[in-house]
């Protein structure tokens, strides 16, 4: 269970606008605070979801921030009007990053040409607004990496590859661009995340970020097992514990480091 001694923590990616949180968000956030979380970024995945993320950040101004973007799954619905709405949302001080954006060729919920077009529009938005990128890539590295690399020198701020689940060579490509790497409860999954444990130590400590991607990716190593399959930000401490154990670091030290990294990338103040 969460260890309140491991403060401070920042969850850089939580889908708190998801319907599963509609009935008990106050309680979810209180458990997060009790677990040592100081800030959470609410992920925007469509224009509507991004506006809702901003509304949540405005409702809980001491705890929440937001991102604004269109997920690659939704790229086929990403019109010029949606891009303009994202551009407007990015003007809000509570919106800290452009995204979630990128490419997902694993499920191809949107045609690949539509995904690439939307991704390029988001890259251009990041150049224009000067905010970091919150990136998604799954089974699309061969196309995603050159597109990102083309824009890298023009980006005023850095980027995080959110929920990294790729292979070692992909990690090295992103580190060569000095990107941040977001690690989720995927590393707690013995069925599909074991390969990540083999090279977590290759991620420079100053480039490592932690996230839950709640309500998804409930850490399977949680004991006792939660009655609900819904993940929530309080369980970020289990991701922290797994990563710290794997790389041979104190959880308290790693919590401080990853929070400092989040503060640097997103330009926020994280208080003890």
- The answer to whether 232 and 32 are in contact (CB under 8 A) is yes
Domains of the chain as residue ranges with CATH: 4-266 (3.20.20.140)
d(CA 28, CA 21): 8
Among residues 43, 102, 41, 42, the alpha carbon closest in space to that of 73 is found at 102
Split at pLDDT 50, 70, 90, the class of 105 is very high
pLDDT at 133 over 60: yes
Provide the 3-class DSSP secondary structure of residue 29.
helix
Report CA Rg, the chain.
17
Among residues 139, 163, 136, the alpha carbon closest in space to that of 148 is found at 136
When the pLDDT of each residue in the chain is averaged and rounded to a whole number, the result is 95
What pLDDT is attached to residue 7?
62
d(CA 34, CA 29): 9
Q: Which token pair is 81?
A: 């009007």
- The answer to whether 108 and 136 are in contact (CB under 8 A) is no
What pLDDT is attached to residue 246?
97
pLDDT at 18 over 70: yes
% of residues, the chain, pLDDT over 90: 95
For residues 229-233, give the mean pLDDT: 97
What pLDDT is attached to residue 235?
98
Provide the 3-class DSSP secondary structure of residue 219.
coil
pLDDT at 4 over 90: no
pLDDT at 247 over 50: yes
Q: What pLDDT digit, counting tens, does each position of 71-93 carry?
A: 999 999 999 999 999 999 999 99
For 92-155, give the DSSP string.
STTEEEEEEEEEETTT-SS-HHHHHHHHHHHHHHHHHH---EEEEEES-HHHHHHHHHHHHTT-
- The answer to whether 11 and 40 are in contact (CB under 8 A) is yes
What pLDDT is attached to residue 269?
86
What pLDDT is attached to residue 6?
55
- Locus of tokens 């269109």: 70
d(CA 170, CA 267): 26
Split at pLDDT 50, 70, 90, the class of 249 is very high
Split at pLDDT 50, 70, 90, the class of 123 is very high
Split at pLDDT 50, 70, 90, the class of 272 is confident
Neighbours of 29 (CB within 10 A): 22
For residues 109-122, give the mean pLDDT: 98
């Amino acid at each position: 269970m969460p260890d309140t001694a491991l403060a401070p923590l920042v969850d850089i990616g939580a889908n708190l606008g998801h319907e599963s949180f509609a009935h008990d968000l106050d309680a979810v956030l209180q458990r997060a605070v009790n677990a040592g979380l100081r800030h959470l970024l609410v992920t925007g995945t469509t224009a509507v979801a991004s506006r809702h993320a901003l509304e949540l950040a405005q409702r809980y101004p001491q705890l929440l921030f937001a991102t604004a973007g269109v997920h690659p799954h939704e790229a086929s619905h990403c019109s010029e009007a949606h891009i303009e709405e994202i551009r407007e949302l990015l003007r809000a001080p509570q919106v800290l990053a452009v995204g979630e954006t990128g490419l997902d060729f694993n499920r191809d919920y949107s045609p690949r040409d539509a995904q690439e077009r939307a991704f390029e529009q988001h890259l251009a938005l990041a150049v224009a607004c000067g905010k970091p990128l919150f990136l998604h890539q799954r089974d699309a590295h061969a196309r995603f990496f050159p597109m990102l690399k083309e824009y890298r020198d023009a980006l005023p701020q850095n980027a995080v590859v959110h929920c990294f689940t790729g292979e070692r060579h992909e990690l090295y490509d992103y580190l060569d661009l000095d990107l941040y790497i977001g690690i989720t409860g995927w590393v707690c999954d013995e069925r599909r995340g074991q390969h990540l444990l083999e090279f977590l130590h290759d991620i420079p400590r100053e480039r490592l970020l932690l996230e839950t991607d709640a309500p998804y990716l409930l850490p399977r190593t949680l004991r006792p097992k939660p009655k609900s399959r819904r993940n929530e930000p309080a369980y970020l401490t289990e991701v922290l514990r797994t990563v710290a154990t794997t790389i041979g670091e104190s959880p308290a030290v790693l919590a401080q480091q990853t929070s400092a990294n989040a503060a640097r990338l997103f330009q926020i103040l994280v208080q003890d």
